[in-house]
Amino acid sequence: MNDSVIVIMSSMEYLPHAKSLMVSCIRQGNWKGDFCLIVTGDFHSGDMERRGIDIYRISDAKRTWLVRFHIFSPYFKRWKRVLSLDCDILIQGDLNDCCDRMAEQFPAILLDGSSDGSIEHNWRHFDDLYGDGPEAHPELYEQMRAEFPHIDSQILTADVAFFDPATVPDGTVELLQATADKYSEANKGQADQTVINLVIYNKMAPITKDFCTWWAFDDPGNRVPNEEKDWRGDEAPAILHYWNMYAPWLDKTPDAGAYYNTRLGRVCREVYLENLAAFDEVFPRI
């Protein structure tokens, strides 16, 4: 066992994406640490375990939603550093160096700082998108504001998280679940980062563009100083988040966004497929 672990949430449907990402971490990111998949009860894990990949299974059938909360489980205290990644990510730089430098911000729990907008704005956005809208339950937002006065602070997104699990208080998963239950009428889309930002914001700090950013922010045209976003212009993030309709596995046309990764000098989907095809070689059965 190593000191550091990359944690990825996966279903059987998303397993190819998790496989490709793990190979990307090694081939493009030179990762020297461990890997762990967070899975639910219907995930067939035997093959992954035979390849040396750790499995954390959520056994409570009632709690298979909002899976990301479980990155804060005491289970991960067997490692000193946890790097949690969404599947729609490409690695384009050395992850070991990236983590060593990010760890200088410990004991803060680091989340991606690429997003704009406040925590409350995020809640209202998802409420409009998946629920009845904030106007259907204004009392919930009043209660939320009273309980969490930092609700106007900038949202930090949970696609990438990095932290020392020893600094996460026991009971954090249960507290996140209880808060999600309390405000569930405003969160019918079961967004996790909105709840995380309510509950542990005072322990969090943003991951800067030096280490991680949204793919569009690393396009050559955006490698410029930006005082509002606190960009110097010379950042070279190792972790690039593609998000949803821009995911690396999607087949895009050359004129589409997120078609090409300029730092790797490769078409994103080609990198994804090449990494997926190399999984058996990179992770042989033990």
What pLDDT, on a 0 to 100 scale, did the predictor assign at position 64?
62
**Could you report the per-residue pLDDT of 91-127, keeping only the tens digit for each?**
999 999 999 999 999 999 999 999 889 999 999 999 9
**Could you report the per-residue pLDDT of 169-200, keeping only the tens digit for each?**
999 999 999 999 999 999 999 999 999 999 99
pTM more than 0.85: yes
What is the residue range of 240's domain? 4-282
Answer whether 176's CB lies under 8 Å from 195's CB.
Answer: yes
| CATH for 41 | 3.90.550.10
What pLDDT, on a 0 to 100 scale, did the predictor assign at position 209?
96
Instruction: Place 88 in a pLDDT band, splitting at 50, 70 and 90.
Output: very high
**Paired residues of 9 in beta bridges:** 38
Answer whether 125's CB lies under 8 Å from 269's CB.
Answer: no
C-alpha 65/C-alpha 105 separation (Å) is 30
Give φ, ψ of 130 to 5 degrees: -120, -15
Give φ, ψ of 169 to 5 degrees: -60, 140
Number of folded domains that form the chain: 1
Average pLDDT, the chain: 95
In the chain, the N- to C-terminal Cα span, in Å, equals: 15
C-alpha 186/C-alpha 182 separation (Å) is 9
Q: Which two tokens stand for residue 41?
A: 């009860």
CA nearest 154: which of 188, 104, 197, 119? 119
Q: Is the peptide bond before 149 cis (omega within 30 degrees of 0)?
A: no
DSSP-derived secondary structure letter, 154: B
Q: Which two tokens stand for residue 165?
A: 């699990």
What pLDDT, on a 0 to 100 scale, did the predictor assign at position 42?
79
3 state DSSP class of 271:
helix
Q: Which residue has the higher pLDDT, 116 or 272?
A: 272
Answer whether 71's CB lies under 8 Å from 7's CB.
Answer: yes
Residues 6+ apart with CB under 8 A from 75: 56
C-alpha 153/C-alpha 138 separation (Å) is 19
Q: Once rounded to an integer, what is the mean pLDDT over residues 234-238?
A: 97
Instruction: Place 61 in a pLDDT band, splitting at 50, 70 and 90.
Output: low
Does position 60 have pLDDT exceeding 80, yes or no? Answer: no
Pair type for strands 260-261 and 266-267: antiparallel
What single letter denotes the amino acid at residue 48? M
Tally DSSP H helices, then E strands, for the chain.
Answer: 9, 12
Instruction: Place 221 in a pLDDT band, splitting at 50, 70 and 90.
Output: very high
